[in-house]
Amino acid sequence: MKRKVLLVEDDELIREFVSDYFKKEAWEVYEAQHGKMAMELFALHSVDLVVLDIMMPEMDGWSVCRKIRQQSDIPIIIITARVDDDDQLMGFELGADEYVTKPFSPKVLVARAKALMKRAEGSIGRGDDIAQFGALTVNKRAHTVTIASVPVSLTPKEYELLLFFIKHEGTVLSRDSILNGVWGMDYFGDHRTVDTHVKKLRAKLDTEQHLIQTMIRFGYKFEAKR
């Protein structure tokens, strides 16, 4: 079955160029030239991934990202010419999973999309199918997270971060090790990226947020009293 990507980019040349690379890798591509069209296509088609430019007419990428996150947890890659750290943090705060700055290689973008989809589909965190920590239950085979049997909605990156913590339960993890383990060695983010995602993950874990402990001046540790 073909994977489906919604490509949102107002620059026609960039959109066509990137679209061609996705199609070469057997993706089905839906193209939108502005945010309003993106939301219309998102409502009409069941897509697996959104590649989203920020600076667009009608509705900017921030607004599109926010609206999609209100409806779905599918992977979102933001592409933009803006390189400020604060812009990247804004994207992560809104629920984006990856952030790619222009100029970029379409070939590399597609490779990152494939890697993100692979992680989102559960190729990470192998081991026991079900992990239980107090009221928190993670079913790796079904890719579900619940607290006291109530479903918890996580973005792919939040889910990957949770699995990384579980994999290293009881170990103090530096922010660098989390960046490398979850975002990859080639990611050029900083420690605030980790802090932002941990904050959002903790909030969603609600009564079980104590499982992720802050180790002052060191990083974080996931630990449960058994």
What integer pLDDT is reported at residue 187 of this predicted model?
67
**Range 14-33 average pLDDT:** 94
pLDDT (tens digit per residue) in 26-64: 999 999 999 999 999 999 988 989 999 988 888 888 899
Interstrand relation of 219-222 and 150-151 (parallel, antiparallel or unpaired): unpaired
pLDDT (tens digit per residue) in 136-164: 999 887 788 999 889 999 988 899 899 99
Return the ∠ at Cα 139 (arms to 137 and 144), rounded to 5°: 90
Q: Taking a C-beta distance cutoff of 8 angstroms, is the pair 51, 79 a contact?
A: yes
Q: Taking a C-beta distance cutoff of 8 angstroms, is the pair 19, 4 a contact?
A: no
pTM: 0.61
List Cα–Cα distances, 152 to 51, 146, 158, 162, 209, in angstroms: 24, 5, 11, 12, 12
55 Rama class: left (phi>0) / alpha (psi -120 to 50) / beta = beta
Give residue for tokens 């909605």: 153
Q: Taking a C-beta distance cutoff of 8 angstroms, is the pair 110, 182 a contact?
A: no
Average confidence score pLDDT of the chain: 86
**Mean pLDDT lowest among 12-21, 36-45, 77-86, 177-186:** 77-86
Q: Which helix (H) or strand (E) element contains residue 37?
A: helix 35-44
What integer pLDDT is reported at residue 125 of this predicted model?
44
pLDDT (tens digit per residue) in 125-137: 444 578 888 889 9
Q: Taking a C-beta distance cutoff of 8 angstroms, is the pair 110, 21 a contact?
A: yes
- The type of residue at 11 is D
CA distance 48 to 45: 10
The strand ranges marked E within 134-216 are 136-139, 144-147, 150-151, 172-174, 212-215
For each of the domains in the chain, give its residue range(s) and CATH number, in order of start: 4-121 (3.40.50.2300), 153-222 (1.10.10.10)
Q: Taking a C-beta distance cutoff of 8 angstroms, is the pair 99, 174 a contact?
A: no
What percent of the chain has a predicted confidence (pLDDT) above 70? 90
pLDDT (tens digit per residue) in 68-115: 988 887 889 998 877 666 767 777 778 888 888 888 889 889 988 988
